[in-house]
């Protein structure tokens, strides 16, 4: 067999692996996604579920590997004297807040609950695999991860703890390369949960009212990898019409940095106009500034008073160029 045959087999297998990826309507936010930094993304997962980019063959294989690793870990934990219960148990049917029963529209399945040898209770446990060494030693290491999906692990487990009314849970990390494993404890943080629930409420409200949250500022590691970027971001098919002038690109970047200041300046000018509107002509001292109010006459042409036939006589049609800049 030649190289071409091998590649063709691989491609056929890849295609078949992704053929089973059926899409189903989504009615709630998955706890595993609740920590996503973009509210708009969460809204799309429900309103545009059918448009989500399908997962590719390697992601499918990665999910399968993770599932097998979890099953194997459960057996090893049991053999080592741990008790494993409530595997893949659904949580978040209904949530109680301030005595009120609320449905937040969050769903999820906890990986399992675990009672390690010598422990006096079961801990909700979220199993995660990593490649290479397990770099996380504390919850802060997860919080400070450069990857938003890793930071999102915390939201996921925190939501499970909240839903079950548990104070403590565990992350169980297993390295697929070194086979090492590590527990990291998690304590329920109600402030953190409140933040997530606020986001969930905003998603629910927007969907109910037919609104769509604003895009987050374009971030390559988030938007660049977003499974809804093809329906969210402005078109990036410019058929080779790209401008490579570094001075122009630098000016666009600097303009972007200054935009918030320009908006603040506009707000301040409006406030100053409002505050000085009542001052008569004259000079005033305001702290280390002098405000001069003067008055002069200027002629205006009120075009609404000009007869239409006269207006038409002096009307010229010119080509106007319009420039719009949108950040990708
Ligand atoms: S592309 Fe960016 S802004 Fe749009 S939904 Fe995805 S993460 Fe949000």
Range scoring the smallest mean pLDDT among 11-20, 130-139, 145-154: 11-20
**Hey, which of 222, 234, 235 would you mutate to test ligand 1's pocket, going by the most ligand atoms within 8 Å of its Cβ?**
222
In the prediction, which pLDDT does 89 show? 83
Nearest partner of 199 among 30, 37, 52, 32, judged by Cα: 37
Q: Which atom of ligand 1 is nearest to the CA of 219?
A: 2
Please write the tens of the pLDDT for every residue from 44-101: 999 999 999 988 888 888 888 999 999 999 999 999 999 999 898 887 655 555 565 5
- 229 C-alpha to center of ligand 1: Å? 6
Q: Of the residues 52, 228, 231, 327, which should be mutated to test ligand 1's pocket, given the most ligand atoms within 8 Å of the CB?
A: 228
Q: Is the CB of 150 under 6 A from ligand 1?
A: no
213 lines ligand 1 (CB under 6 A): no
pLDDT for the residue 92: 66
Look up the pTM and report it.
Answer: 0.69
Q: Residue 89: which H helix or E strand, with range?
A: strand 89-91
Q: Is the pLDDT of residue 256 over 80?
A: yes
CB distance 86 to 97 below 8 Å: no
Give the domain ranges of the chain: 22-232, 243-293
Identify whether the C-beta of residue 90 lies closer than 8 Å to the C-beta of residue 108. yes
CATH fold, domain 22-232, is Lambda Exonuclease; Chain A (3.90.320)
The number of the ligand 1 atom at minimal distance from the alpha carbon of 214 is 3
104 or 140, higher pLDDT: 140
Assess whether the C-beta atom of 184 lies below 6 angstroms from ligand 1: no
Q: How much distance in Å is there from the Cα of 267 to the middle of ligand 1?
A: 29
DSSP state for residue 217 in the 8-state scheme: P
Contact 229 CB / ligand 1 (< 6 Å): yes
Atom of ligand 1 nearest to the CA of 37: 7
In this prediction, residue 129 carries a pLDDT of 93
* Per-residue model confidence as pLDDT tens digits over 225-244: 999 999 998 766 667 778 88
Sign of CA dihedral 109, 111, 112, 115: negative
pLDDT digits (tens, 9 = 90+) for 7-58: 998 888 888 888 767 788 888 899 999 999 999 999 999 999 999 998 888 8
């Amino acid at each position: 067999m030649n190289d071409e045959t091998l590649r063709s087999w691989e491609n056929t297998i890849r295609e078949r692996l992704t053929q089973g990826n059926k899409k189903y309507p989504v009615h709630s936010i998955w706890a595993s996604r609740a920590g996503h930094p973009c509210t708009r993304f969460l809204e799309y997962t429900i309103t545009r579920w059918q448009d989500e980019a399908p997962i590719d063959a390697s992601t499918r294989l990665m999910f399968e590997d993770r599932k097998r690793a979890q099953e194997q870990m459960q057996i090893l934990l049991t053999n080592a004297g741990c008790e494993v219960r409530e595997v893949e148990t659904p949580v978040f049917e209904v949530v109680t807040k301030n005595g009120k029963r609320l449905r937040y529209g969050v769903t999820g399945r906890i990986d399992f609950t675990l009672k390690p040898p010598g422990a006096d209770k079961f801990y909700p446990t979220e199993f995660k695999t990593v490649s290479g060494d397990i770099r996380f030693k504390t919850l802060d290491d997860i919080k400070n991860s450069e990857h938003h999906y890793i930071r999102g692990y915390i939201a996921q487990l925190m939501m499970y703890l909240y839903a079950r009314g548990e104070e403590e849970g565990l992350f169980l990390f297993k390295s697929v390369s070194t086979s090492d494993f590590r527990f990291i404890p998690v304590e329920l943080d109600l402030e953190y949960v409140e933040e997530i629930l606020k986001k969930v409420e905003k998603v629910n409200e927007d969907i109910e009212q037919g609104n769509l949250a604003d895009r987050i500022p374009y971030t390559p590691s988030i938007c660049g990898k977003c499974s809804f970027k093809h329906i969210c971001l402005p078109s990036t098919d410019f058929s080779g019409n790209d401008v490579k002038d570094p001075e122009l690109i630098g000016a666009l970047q600097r303009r972007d940095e200054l935009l918030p200041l320009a908006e603040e300046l506009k707000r301040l000018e409006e406030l100053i106009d409002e505050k000085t509107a009542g001052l008569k002509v004259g000079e005033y001292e305001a702290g280390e500034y002098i405000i001069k109010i003067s008055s002069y006459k200027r002629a205006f042409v009120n075009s609404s008073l000009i007869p239409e036939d006269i207006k038409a006589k002096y009307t010229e049609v010119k080509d106007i160029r319009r420039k719009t800049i949108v950040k990708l």
